[in-house]
A and B are shown apart, each in its own frame.
Chain A
Amino acid sequence: MGYKSFDEINEKIRSKKAVVVTAEEIIGIVDEVGVEGAFREVDVVTCGTFSPMCSSGAFLNFGHSDPPIRMSKVWLNDVPACAGLAAVDAYIGATELSESRGMEYGGAHVIEDLIAGKKVRLRATSYGTDCYPRRALEAWITADSINEAYMFNPRNCYQNYGAAANTSDRTIYTYMGTLLPKLGNVNYCTAGELSPLICDPFYRTIGLGSRIFLGGAQGYVAWQGTQNNPSQPRAENGVPIGGAACLALIGDLKQMDPRYIRAAVFEKYGVTMFVGVGTAIPLLDEEMVRHVAVRNRDVKTKIFDYSVARRSKPALAEVSYEELRSGSVQVGSRTIPTAPLSSLKMAREIAQKLKDWIVRGEFELQEPVASLPREGSPQALENYEGE
């Protein structure tokens, strides 16, 4: 069995000889020429996803005013940012709500406005110190007028995710969208066979330091995502059945494109952010070809009942992405309409764009500097009412 190294593949990218296809295109190639043939012909497979990812945000450094201020409270367009850092550093979280506009505008909108080049109103207060005497400041900023603006998303790019439904008698409003009563709909939220970690189920090619597409710019995998759950039970092909691993991502907000980062409001839930992520998987060996050629029919997830507002929700059925994509699924004796929350059209566009970058020699693959953990599950938090 042959082997191609990251260096060999990058050499091909530099000389513009790399053969790159998307994770959907590789399926047809494997059908036509087999795993061995696909390994010989193709060097890199690109993946994409464009989904709401709440655990997102950006670090900003505003620069110093004169006299200077040690900002202890910061608002951007009336959305509070976390300022418990050095004098003019702050972190704006995607789900933070505006103090004046509530759920219609939040941190994700601030981030989208900054990426779009719009002016954002900065307001800061302080208790004042000898070295930072100013106690209040108001200013207009843009992404270009401030020092650093980098997105740092603690949990993105979930490796599969549970689908959602509602067995109760009332409509419920969740981060999985509007769920109609009595199993009126099933919502799901991954790009299936095109999704980054579904195509590399054991994280052989993606790890800390991997270069990625993030919001239209080149970004990096910074760490494992929060609530990382690689020990989730897996199917025979290695793909976890339901939410499993995830990634912490970092990238330069100033280089991003508002097309690939989009603020979102989920009715009666709150603000979140669509994040466009793309990954490039080097076909190191035939095993990687088998992984990236996974099909929707072989990617399974469970449908959970979101009317049970508990940590563990009952699973109603196990279904494949082929079934979810068909427009309806069977739950018991009933046929329930399905709808995605993740844009497959945008995921395809991202995989295609990343492919174009690589073909043109503009994006080289970065071999991970450390591996992601292959085992581990999130811990629960128990409410403690004692002393």
Chain B
Amino acid sequence: MALQKSTEVNGGICDGTCAAANARTHAGVDAGTSPTGTAEKRIKALLTYPPGAVGKPITYSLVRQFDLWINILHAEIAADKAGRLIMDILGDASDIDRGLAFLEDEGIEYEILNGSALWDEDRCVHCGACTAVCPSHALTLDKNDWSLAFDREKCYLCRLCTRACPVGAMSTPI
């Protein structure tokens, strides 16, 4: 499956473009449809790799051993340093729990992310620069009055907007 193949990011720095690419691959996946059937769940998680753990094929294991659908939203990984990975995880609730337990065993800290990017409406000038990079289509321009619209439900905290916004109107709670 193309989706699974695209999830491995080993070494180097992903500047988030993989999220854009993955989002398109992922677009056909309906959040309500589990690839395996029962008790389907979807979470966003921030994984922190200690130095030295970066070489482990963690994402591959989550996919192969626990049958999880992984969509990498943001990655900062270098072989000799601590790494951070934000991923969207889709699968059976029990498989997700087992996958998270596996991460702990591997010495990888994780944090379940709730919420969305923060939008400072007073600071926003409604230019639209963020809409160019938002892979989830959470940020769009209203075609009537051309003001920015932010659908917080769709946001998966990839943080691309925080870097693309020229006036510093987008930030994240993490």
Contacts and interface: CB of A to CB of B under 8 A. Distances in A.
A171 B15 contact: yes
A267 B162 CA distance: 10
B166 A266 contact: yes
Nearest to B128: A340
A327 B149 CA distance: 14
A340 B17 contact: no
B49 to A, nearest CB: 23
Interface in A168-198: 170-171, 177-178, 180-181, 184-185, 187
Interface in A310-346: 325, 327, 337-346
Nearest to B142: A345
A177 B168 contact: no
Interface stretch (B59-67, B88-96, B129-137): B129-137
Contact of B145 (A267, A327, A345): A345
Interface stretch (A78-86, A222-230, A257-265): A257-265
A339 B20 contact: no
Interface residues of A, number: 32
Contact of A267 (B17, B146, B164): B164
A319 to B, nearest CB: 16
Contacts of A180: 17, 20, 132-133
B127 A342 contact: yes
A320 B160 CA distance: 28
A340 B167 CA distance: 14
A252 B129 CA distance: 29
Interface in A62-119: none
A337 B15 CA distance: 20
B163 interface: yes
B163 A178 contact: yes
B17 A343 contact: no
A184 B146 CA distance: 22
Given A272-B166, A348-B146, A337 B125 contact: no
B17 A187 contact: no
A216 interface: no
A274 interface: yes
A347 B126 CA distance: 10
Given A266-B166, A267-B164, A339 B131 contact: yes
A269 to B, nearest CB: 9
B168 A178 contact: no
A345 B17 contact: no
A48 interface: no
B141 interface: yes
B147 interface: yes
B117 to A, nearest CB: 15
> Which of A187, A342, A345, A348 counts the most B-chain CB atoms under 10 A from its CB?
A345
B163 to A, nearest CB: 5
Contacts of B127: 50, 274, 340-343, 346
21 contacts: A171-B15, A171-B17, A177-B164, A178-B133, A178-B160, A180-B17, A180-B132, A185-B132, A185-B133, A264-B166, A265-B168, A267-B163, A272-B166, A274-B127, A337-B132, A338-B132, A339-B128, A339-B131, A342-B127, A344-B126, A345-B145
Given A180-B17, A185-B132, A340-B127, 4 more contacts: A171-B17, A178-B164, A338-B132, A339-B132
Interface of B: 15-17, 20, 125-129, 131-133, 141, 143, 145-147, 160, 163-164, 166-168
**When A and B form their complex, which 10 residue pairs have the shortest distance between CB atoms, in order from nearest?**
A339-B132, A264-B166, A344-B146, A345-B126, A340-B128, A343-B127, A345-B146, A185-B132, A339-B131, A267-B163
